[in-house]
Structure 1
Amino acid sequence: MTEVVLDLAVRDLTDADLAACGFAGSDLHLKQVARQLDRARDGEVDYLAVCTKTDLPVAIGGVDYVPHPGAGSLWQLAVHPALQSCGIGTVLIGAAEQRILARGLDRAEISVELSNPRAQALYERLGYVAYGEQLEAWDQQNPDGSITRYETTCAQLRKELRGGH
């Protein structure tokens, strides 16, 4: 077996990165990410990119400081499918937690669809604890370009962060 080592860096996602982020979702989703970058410029969110040595994003995700006072809410986490299960999601979440701590907060929140047990298992391995469930909904783009409303039940998880302040 050959081992491949990726040299990764985490930085803020930029508008210029969006063209390389098709792995994260549809055109509609990337337009929504672009709107979140406006919120990042206003200081309401952090939006991160995990990049390879070539500075291309292989994972992206945000921390929203508005929904849960006193906490950062991780959301829109995506890792390039070809690189899943390589620890990149763990790098992204760790960097997001550091951003939360840097704002003087000590709690992280995350929602995960009940139909995504793999992601929930990752979050739980990283110390997140489920405390409830909630119905969530958003618009999604279909292959034919039409938009439909998607509804799903999500587990709510949180983690108490230590250190950093």
Structure 2
Amino acid sequence: MVEVVLRLSVRDLASADLAHCGWSGSEQHLVSVARQLERVRLGEVDYLAVCPASGVPVAKGGIDYCAKEGVGTLWQLAVHPALQSCGIGTFLMEAAEQRIRNRGLRQAELGVEENNPRARALYERLGYVAFDRQPDSWDEQAPDGSLRRYETMCTLMRKDLS
């Protein structure tokens, strides 16, 4: 067995990074991320990238400060599929929580799809507690190029950061 150690850093995601983030979702998803990067300029969101020494993102995620008053709402969290279960998601979450604290907020919330038990297990291990459920949906591009509506049920989770 060979052990590989990666030195990771967290920085703001930049528009130029999107060309390297195809692993995180469809082309339409990346267009959505680009729109969210415009909100970074306005101070409404932070969008983080976790990178090894190469500077190429291997994880990403947003924090919305406008979705709910007094709360940092985490969304669009993703780790490169080949690097999942290596601690990178934990690293991303800890950095996001620190950003929320730096804003003077003491609560983080997120929604996790109910068909994603691995993500939910991570959030629970990090201290998030389920408090509600709600449906969510968005348009996705199908392999044939057409748009389809994706519908899911999410468990809403919260963590006290004080």
TM-score in terms of structure 2 length:
0.99
Q: Which structure 1 segments of 5+ residues have no match?
A: none
Aligned residues: 162
Kindly provide the CA deviation profile for residues 87-122 of structure 1, in whole angstroms up to 9, marking residues without a partner as x: 000010110000000000000001000000110000
**2:10 aligned with 1:10, yes or no?**
yes
> Counterpart of 2:21 in structure 1: which amino acid?
C
The alignment status of 1:46 with 2:46, answered yes or no, reads yes
Please give the alpha-carbon distance, in whole angstroms, between the structure 1 residues aligned to 2:64 and 2:151.
Answer: 21
What is the RMSD of the two structures over their aligned residues, measured on CA atoms?
0.6
SS of the equivalent of 2:94 reads helix
Q: How does 1:1-165 map to 2 (within 5 A)?
A: 1-162=1-162
SS in 1 for 2:59: strand
Letter in 2 for 1:123: Y
Cα distance per residue 1:62-107 (max 9 Å; x no partner): 0001111111000000100110000000010110000000000000
Identity across matched positions, percent: 65
TM-score normalised according to structure 1 size: 0.97
**Inter-partner Cα distance in structure 1 for 2:42 and 2:70:** 18
Displacement of 1:144: 1.1
Matching residue's letter, 2:122: L
Q: Which runs of 5+ in 2 are unaligned?
A: none
